[in-house]
Amino acid sequence: MLNEYRVDLHLHTCLSPCADLTMVPSAFAEKLEEKNVDWIAITDHNTCRNVPVFSKVLRDHGIEVIAGMEVQTREEVHVLLYFESYEEAFDFETTIVMPHMKKTKLDPELHGYQLLVNEKDEFTELYSDWLGQPLDLSTEELVECAHEKGAVVVFAHIFRRFGVIHQLGIPPNTRCEAVEICSVSELEKAKTMFKGSPVISSSDAHFPDQIGSRNCVIKANTRKFREFKDALEKGRILIEWDCAH
Ligand SMILES: [Zn+2]
Ligand SMILES: [Zn+2]
């Protein structure tokens, strides 16, 4: 008998320039408990550096965290990457993302703040390279690198701004493990365009009230990364539309 886990696989912390400063560990714990979400992914723009602190705090609340990031490609496509461990995510960030990202100094007035945080919700560092930028890798090149490193690849909000279909018009010539949509009205079109890929939905929360507002249910034995991969491969992930907005 498999367990059912409620998952929100697209969440931004105070390290994403466009996310609210209140996206700190305690806000995640409170909102995720309220929504009975027990498995999440942290997916800041082009970085995973807040993952360890959030993982530690949320584990004390019984919530497991997948190390992820939302990478922006040369065509301004947002691609969600999920890794088996923080170490693997961090390795990808330092060896692939950072060397391919243009260096622009963050201007908080213009771009927003990018803050590393500790377990007590205290800001410890302002991350100084602006993270809201595209890499000089194409979508296909990024996906290939990510697969080489064992990551799970999901195209984010495919029909919305920065989504792969919105940006490119057609699906890229590359494999993905799933595609993400934002409303039930997008479901049939997504299934037709990405035949064989599971279609999922997540909150893409940038503010505390959005956390856990769109979820999926995964059927799995445990909340291990291998089980997450398996659930996508075998279609044991379903969108919970009744909590969508
Ligand atoms: Zn996005
Ligand atoms: Zn996002």
Domains located in the chain, CATH noted: 3-243 (3.20.20.140)
- Which H or E element spans position 26? helix 25-34
CA of 4 to the centre of ligand 2 (A): 25
CA of 105 to the centre of ligand 1 (A): 21
pLDDT in tens, 178-211: 999 999 999 999 999 999 899 999 999 999 999 9
Mean pLDDT, rounded, for 43-47: 98
Ligand closest to the CA atom of residue 205: 2
**Predicted pLDDT of residue 60:** 98
Which residues partner with 120 through β-bridges? none
H helical segments located in 82-181: 86-92, 98-100, 108-111, 139-148, 164-168
**Predicted pLDDT of residue 245:** 43
| CB contact at 8 A, 65 and 59 | yes
**Predicted pLDDT of residue 36:** 97
CA of 1 to the centre of ligand 1 (A): 35
Mean pLDDT, rounded, for 82-96: 98
**Res. 241 pLDDT band, cuts 50 70 90:** confident
Cα–Cα distances (Å) from 41 to 68, 85, 173, 176, in that order, read 6, 11, 26, 17
Ligand closest to the CA atom of residue 72: 1
CA of 22 to the centre of ligand 1 (A): 19
How many separate helices (H) and strands (E) can be counted in the chain?
9, 11
Ligand closest to the CA atom of residue 157: 1
**Predicted pLDDT of residue 50:** 98
CA of 27 to the centre of ligand 1 (A): 21
Give yes or no for residue 47 having a pLDDT over 50: yes
Give yes or no for residue 84 having a pLDDT over 80: yes
Give yes or no for residue 63 having a pLDDT over 90: yes
First CA to last CA across the chain, in angstroms? Answer: 31
**Predicted pLDDT of residue 244:** 44
Cα–Cα distances (Å) from 197 to 17, 171, 180, in that order, read 30, 12, 10
Ligand closest to the CA atom of residue 17: 2
**From the CB of residue 145, how many other CB atoms can be counted at a distance below 10 Å?**
19
